[in-house]
Amino acid sequence: MNETVSPLLKVVVGIILLIVVAPLVVPLLMSISDTPFIVFPPQGFTLKWYGAVLANPEARASFLFSLELAAIVTGVSLLLGVPCAAGLTRFKLPGQDAILGLILSPLIVPLIVTGVALLQLFAMLGSRATLLQLVIGHTVVCLPYVIRSVSASLLLVNRNLEDAASVLGAPPHIVATRVIWPQVRPGILAGGIFSFIVSFDDYPISMWLADGNHFPVPLYLYTVIERSFDPSIAAIASLMIFFALLLVLVIEKVFGLSLARLAS
């Protein structure tokens, strides 16, 4: 089996993986440098930049706001997306292709364009509700992922099990909770996690709709990179990388989902 992967290929893959990891490792190294500016290789060792970042009220406010936004967006996406996936997979709807096309099209239109189009619409409507606008913008993008993921697991549901349960006299709510739910749970979970990540990481929609009081983490990071040059930026970047690693662990160990499945 292993014969199909030649040693030369392994070396090439190793080099590519090193390049892939490099931009995530270098900020880690620089964040501990005891110099007032960024320099490679790092000199000395200090954790003071981490202290500075964690004590920064702006950074904390952005982080909390992003968590709140992502949580609301995930809730709304699931609330809209799960019934929609059920409707799409369990019913023959005339015009199903058109409906599917509409649902998936936010994945095709560039996010930056969706964002600017929404800003234009909200300006036309005279809306000032920033949080609501951000929730709407992010939900537009997260819905396709949720619906795709939940539909995929609903299509795999074994209808015979439901029929068997019903024939044996299980009332609908028992069928739903004890037969259908265990089968679609991974799909709903994956869709929820995915929409949380997409919302938490979004830049191209938030850049149009956010304001100073509703300032998600990616926008905050960008402004920090633009205006300061000390290793505290590297410390923030490192914290975000640790956060991502934590997410990988949670997804793989706690939820028992594989990253590869989530991404496909």
Partner 1 sequence: MSRADIIDVTASSSPDLRAAREIPEGWISRLAGKAWSLLSGRYTGYLLVAPTVLFLAAWFLWPVLTMVYLSLTAHSVDGVMVEGFTLENYIRLFSSDLYFRILMRTIRIALMTSLFAALFAYPLAITIARGGPTLARLVTITILAPLLVNVVVRSYGWQTILNKTGALAWVLKLLGVSNPPVLLYTEWAVLIACVHVYLPFVVMPLAGAIGRIDRTVEEAARVAGATRFSVFLRVIFPLSLPGLAVGVSLVFSLSAAAYVTPQILGGNFSPLLGTLIEQQILTLNDWPFGAAISTLLIAMVLASNLIFLKLVSRRFARWTAGAR
Least distance from C-beta 263 to partner 1, angstroms?
5
Among 30, 134, 142, 154, binds partner 1 (CB under 8 A): 30
| Contact status: 131 vs partner 1 (CB under 8 A) | no
Q: Any idea what the Cα angle at residue 219 is, between residues 34 and 264, rounded to 5°? A: 100
Nearest to 38 by CA among 230, 263, 175: 230
Stretch that binds partner 1, among 7-15, 45-53, 56-64, 153-161 (CB under 8 A): 7-15
| Contact status: 171 vs partner 1 (CB under 8 A) | yes
Q: What is the DSSP letter of 242?
A: H
Stretch that binds partner 1, among 47-55, 67-75, 99-107, 153-161 (CB under 8 A): 99-107
Please tell me whether the peptide bond between 42 and the residue prior to it is cis, using omega within 30 degrees of 0: no
| Contact status: 52 vs partner 1 (CB under 8 A) | no
Give the three-class secondary structure for 91: coil
| Contact status: 10 vs partner 1 (CB under 8 A) | yes
CA separation for the pair 100, 189 (Å, rounded) = 21
Site for partner 1 in 227-256 (CB under 8 A): 233-234, 237, 240-241, 244-245, 247-248
For the chain, the helix, strand and coil percentages under 3-state DSSP, each to the nearest 5: 75, 0, 20
Q: Give the dihedral sign, CA 13/14/15/20.
A: positive
Among 78, 134, 150, 197, binds partner 1 (CB under 8 A): 197
| Contact status: 160 vs partner 1 (CB under 8 A) | no
| Contact status: 41 vs partner 1 (CB under 8 A) | yes
Query: What residue ranges in the chain does DSSP mark as E strands?
Result: none
| Contact status: 178 vs partner 1 (CB under 8 A) | yes
CA separation for the pair 160, 73 (Å, rounded) = 34
| Contact status: 55 vs partner 1 (CB under 8 A) | no
CA separation for the pair 211, 219 (Å, rounded) = 10
Site for partner 1 in 65-84 (CB under 8 A): 80-81, 83-84
| Contact status: 54 vs partner 1 (CB under 8 A) | no
Least distance from C-beta 221 to partner 1, angstroms?
4
Among 53, 59, 70, 88, binds partner 1 (CB under 8 A): 88
| Contact status: 22 vs partner 1 (CB under 8 A) | yes
Q: Give the dihedral sign, CA 69/71/75/77.
A: positive
Judge whether 85 and 151 are in contact, CB under 8 Å: yes
Among 127, 170, 230, 255, binds partner 1 (CB under 8 A): 170
Among 47, 109, 156, 164, binds partner 1 (CB under 8 A): 109
| Contact status: 164 vs partner 1 (CB under 8 A) | no
Nearest to 135 by CA among 209, 215, 81, 85: 209
| Contact status: 191 vs partner 1 (CB under 8 A) | no
